[in-house]
């Protein structure tokens, strides 16, 4: 805001935890946040580890090495994933924190999403993270992740919407709020929002309205296209909040 800009959400999404395990289909494997952090810390190294078996009593998990895969380049997905790890693991938060670029303690580097997906496809025992839409298009198996209510949730639109509706957006500044690890039985814990940043200072009211109307059209007619790409449209209540924000922040003049 000090730079004369606005920030508001335009779509939302989920970061899926994907695996390559024989006989384990999408939504079959369950993982808790602390388990996931311990895997990426290198403290859990086998799929037959008792801690993993304890939350998957009905699955046959072989003594196969866990091959951790992560992004090498800076990535919004990495930020959201490590923000979640920081929320559920004090050790991860203290050692690595949340960032778009991480000095990973172990694992295989992958430059870009497509190389990450290829690495998971090519490696038995692999685990990684990716936007849910990209993971689904690549036919990768995803894990259910335990949320704060103790429910294991899929990286699907309903879970992201539930995470978003748990936030009182009216009390935020420029919609700054994290969707990770939110309350609610249905909330998917590795959810995120995609933001637009619009220059307001130095722009005419007419030009600002043209930009605003473009986003308004996208909200009204673009939900299907967003969903087809794996994104989640904003709930109507949140769109209403964005509309109010526009009205309060609009420049006045020619």
pLDDT of residue 202: 73
Grouping H, G, I as helix, E, B as strand and the rest as coil, residue 129 is strand
DSSP 8-state code for residue 192: E
pLDDT of residue 254: 44
Tell me whether residue 254 is in a domain. no
pLDDT of residue 201: 77
Task: Please check whether residues 239 and 177 belong to one and the same domain.
Answer: yes
pLDDT of residue 252: 58
Q: What is the mean pLDDT of residues 227-247?
A: 90
Task: Please check whether residues 126 and 23 belong to one and the same domain.
Answer: yes
CA distance 205 to 213: 12
- What confidence tier does 248 reach under pLDDT thresholds 50, 70, 90? confident
Tell me whether residue 213 is in a domain. yes
CB atoms within 10 A of CB 165: 16
Task: Please check whether residues 26 and 127 belong to one and the same domain.
Answer: yes
Task: Please check whether residues 145 and 170 belong to one and the same domain.
Answer: no
Tens digits of residue pLDDT in 141-186: 999 999 999 999 999 999 999 999 999 998 999 999 999 999 999 9
Give how many domains the chain has, as a whole number. 2
Tell me whether residue 229 is in a domain. yes
Residue 200: pLDDT over 90: no
Tell me whether residue 94 is in a domain. yes
Task: Please check whether residues 177 and 233 belong to one and the same domain.
Answer: yes
Tell me whether residue 209 is in a domain. yes
More confident residue, 211 or 116: 116
Here the tokens at position 41 are 């810390």
Task: Please check whether residues 43 and 91 belong to one and the same domain.
Answer: yes
Task: Please check whether residues 35 and 54 belong to one and the same domain.
Answer: yes
CB 70 within 8 A of CB 119: no
Tens digits of residue pLDDT in 74-90: 999 999 999 999 999 99
Residue 50: pLDDT over 70: yes
Tell me whether residue 38 is in a domain. yes
Residue 253: pLDDT over 60: no
pLDDT of residue 6: 87
Q: Dmax of the chain from CA atoms?
A: 69
Task: Please check whether residues 108 and 227 belong to one and the same domain.
Answer: no
Task: Show the CA angle centred on residue 93, arms to residues 88 and 97, nearest 5°.
Answer: 120
Among 153, 177, 197, where does a domain finish?
Answer: 153
pLDDT of residue 3: 59
Task: Please check whether residues 42 and 138 belong to one and the same domain.
Answer: yes
Residue 26: pLDDT over 90: yes
Q: What domain range is 39 assigned to?
A: 14-153
More confident residue, 201 or 117: 117
Which residues are registered as beta bridge partners of 196?
A: 8
Tens digits of residue pLDDT in 89-101: 999 999 999 999 9
CATH of the domain at 147: 3.40.190.10
Task: Please check whether residues 149 and 86 belong to one and the same domain.
Answer: yes
Residue 221: pLDDT over 90: yes
Tell me whether residue 91 is in a domain. yes
CB 47 within 8 A of CB 99: no
Mean model confidence pLDDT for the chain? 93
Lowest mean pLDDT among 104-113, 193-202, 243-252: 243-252
Strands (E), the chain: 5-19, 30-31, 67-71, 108-110, 126-131, 141-142, 144-146, 152-153, 191-199
- What confidence tier does 2 reach under pLDDT thresholds 50, 70, 90? low
Task: Please check whether residues 145 and 20 belong to one and the same domain.
Answer: yes
Among 101, 133, 153, where does a domain finish?
Answer: 153
Among 130, 153, 176, where does a domain finish?
Answer: 153
Task: Please check whether residues 147 and 164 belong to one and the same domain.
Answer: no
Tell me whether residue 96 is in a domain. yes
pLDDT of residue 5: 85
């Amino acid at each position: 805001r000090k730079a004369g800009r606005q920030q508001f959400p335009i779509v939302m999404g989920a970061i899926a935890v994907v695996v390559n395990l024989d006989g384990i289909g999408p939504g079959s494997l369950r993982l808790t946040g602390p388990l996931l952090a311990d895997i990426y810390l290198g403290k859990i190294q086998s799929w037959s580890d008792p801690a993993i078996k304890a939350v998957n009593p009905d699955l046959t998990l072989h003594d196969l090495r866990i091959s951790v895969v992560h992004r090498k380049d800076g990535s919004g997905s990495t930020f959201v994933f490590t923000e979640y790890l920081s929320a559920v693991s004090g050790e991860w938060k203290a050692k690595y924190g949340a960032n778009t670029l991480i000095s990973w303690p172990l694992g295989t580097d992958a430059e870009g999403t497509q190389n990450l997906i290829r690495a998971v496809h090519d490696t038995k025992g692999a685990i990684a993270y990716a936007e849910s839409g990209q993971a689904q298009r690549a036919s990768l198996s995803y894990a259910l992740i335990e949320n704060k209510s103790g429910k294991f949730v899929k990286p699907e639109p309903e879970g992201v919407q539930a995470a978003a509706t748990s936030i009182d957006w009216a009390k935020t500044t420029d919609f700054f709020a994290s969707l990770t690890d939110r309350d609610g039985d249905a909330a998917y814990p590795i959810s995120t929002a995609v933001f637009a940043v619009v220059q307001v200072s130095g722009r005419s009211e007419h030009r600002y309205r043209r930009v605003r109307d473009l986003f308004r059209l996208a909200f009204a007619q673009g939900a299907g296209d967003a969903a087809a790409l794996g994104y989640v449209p904003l709930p109507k209540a949140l769109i209403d909040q964005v509309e109010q924000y526009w009205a309060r922040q609009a420049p006045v003049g020619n």
